[in-house]
Amino acid sequence: MPIIGLSRWPVWRRWFGGRAERAAAKFLRRKGYRVLARNVVLPPGELDIVALDDRTIVFAEVRSTEGPDIERPVLSVDATKQRKLTDLALAYLQRHRLLGHNARFDILAVSWPANRRQPTVVHYPDAFPAVGRFQMFS
């Protein structure tokens, strides 16, 4: 049985996810993005990375895997997850009084097999539109 900490996720999974998020943030910085925040906790849940690409606020969802199949983690951002991310982004924009700014959703897929020192990061900019009643500006 996995050891459970303060989260519902086992310690190893939280460690692996955090490692992938750090790699994704580094990847975005190298592309010229300014990372504004990581692991933003709001009432609806958590945003992995909030960044700035020129004048567009980017809400980046990081999906990671140990395997070489980079597509499987991306496909896990289904309609339910997209709605939740939209709600989170809207809450973030409201909290920071940024509702009039351009925003988009990116997905970063991080494949980090056990025998590799560095991950493979695949970036999907503008991966999906805002969904739900209160869609954001684009």
* Tens of pLDDT, residues 35-72: 999 999 998 899 999 999 999 999 999 998 877 777 88
Full set of structural domains in the chain with CATH: 11-128 (3.40.1350.10)
Q: How far apart are CA 88 and CA 127, in angstroms?
A: 16
Per-residue pLDDT averaged across 78-105, rounded? 95
Q: How far apart are CA 128 and CA 104, in angstroms?
A: 8
CA distances from 138 to 93, 96, 135 (A): 13, 17, 9
Give the end-to-end CA distance of the chain in Å, rounded to a whole number: 45
Q: How far apart are CA 58 and CA 48, in angstroms?
A: 11
Q: Tell me if 124 sits within 8 A of 109, measured CB to CB.
A: yes
What is the per-residue pLDDT for 3?
A: 43
Q: Is 111 exposed, middle or buried (0-12, 13-18, 19+ CB in 10 A)?
A: buried
pTM above 0.85, yes or no: no
What is the per-residue pLDDT for 7?
A: 52
Of 5-14, 111-120, 127-136, which gets the smallest average pLDDT? 5-14
Contacts of residue 131, defined as CB under 8 A and 6 or more positions apart, other chains included, come to: 79, 82, 83, 86
Q: How far apart are CA 17 and CA 23, in angstroms?
A: 10
